[in-house]
């Protein structure tokens, strides 16, 4: 590659880095967000969620909740409601009292954008639940990572 072409490519790359610097800074590798879950509302679709029967295969569970800061984030103090989460789950295997399996898709709205995630989360009976972060909008447009949920606490680890 000639020096002229090499300089042009390098200049374009530098321009791209500078143009997206705000996004890269917002979702830099190692960025961690921590939340405390507020009250959760759940709805069963295709079965009575308040009944004593397990949800049938193919039914859905939908969860909504508010999330609060666990520490200072988004320029707001700890304990402040900073967003909401919506999760839609499809039951994909016959549940037993010990286990349930399904696929859950979620979206977390926070002050500077939102990110999407996937896992089996709230329908599993696990003490620790994990979700894969699959993208989003704003500073989360190209982010990946994971959510680790333990009880009422969520730790979101973001990477690009």
User: Looking at the DSSP assignment, which residues form a beta bridge with residue 37?
Assistant: 67
Q: What is the pLDDT of residues 116-140, one digit of tens each?
A: 999 987 777 788 999 999 999 999 9
Q: What is the pLDDT of residues 10-45, one digit of tens each?
A: 333 333 333 333 333 444 456 899 999 999 999 999
Which domains can be identified in the chain, with CATH numbers? 29-159 (2.40.480.10)
Among candidate residues 105, 137, 103, the one with its CA nearest the CA of residue 123:
103
Averaged pLDDT score across all residues of the chain: 81
Among candidate residues 118, 137, 148, the one with its CA nearest the CA of residue 26:
137
Q: Are 100 and 123 in contact (CB under 8 A)?
A: yes
Q: What is the pLDDT of residues 53-66, one digit of tens each?
A: 778 899 999 999 99
């Amino acid at each position: 590659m000639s020096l002229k072409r090499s300089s042009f490519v390098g200049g374009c790359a530098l321009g791209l880095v500078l143009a997206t610097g705000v996004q890269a800074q917002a979702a830099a590798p190692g960025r961690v967000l921590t939340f405390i879950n507020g009250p959760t509302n759940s709805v069963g679709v295709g079965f009575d969620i308040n009944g004593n029967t397990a949800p049938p295969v193919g039914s859905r569970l939908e969860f909504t909740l508010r999330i609060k800061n666990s520490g200072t984030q988004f320029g707001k103090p700890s304990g402040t409601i900073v967003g909401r989460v919506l999760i839609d789950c499809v039951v994909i295997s016959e549940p037993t009292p010990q286990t349930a399996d399904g696929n859950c898709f979620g979206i977390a709205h926070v002050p500077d954008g939102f990110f999407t995630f996937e896992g089996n989360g709230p329908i599993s009976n696990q003490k620790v639940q994990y979700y894969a972060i699959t993208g989003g909008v704003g500073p989360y447009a190209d982010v990946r990572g994971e959510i680790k949920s333990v009880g009422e606490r969520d730790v979101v680890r973001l990477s690009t």
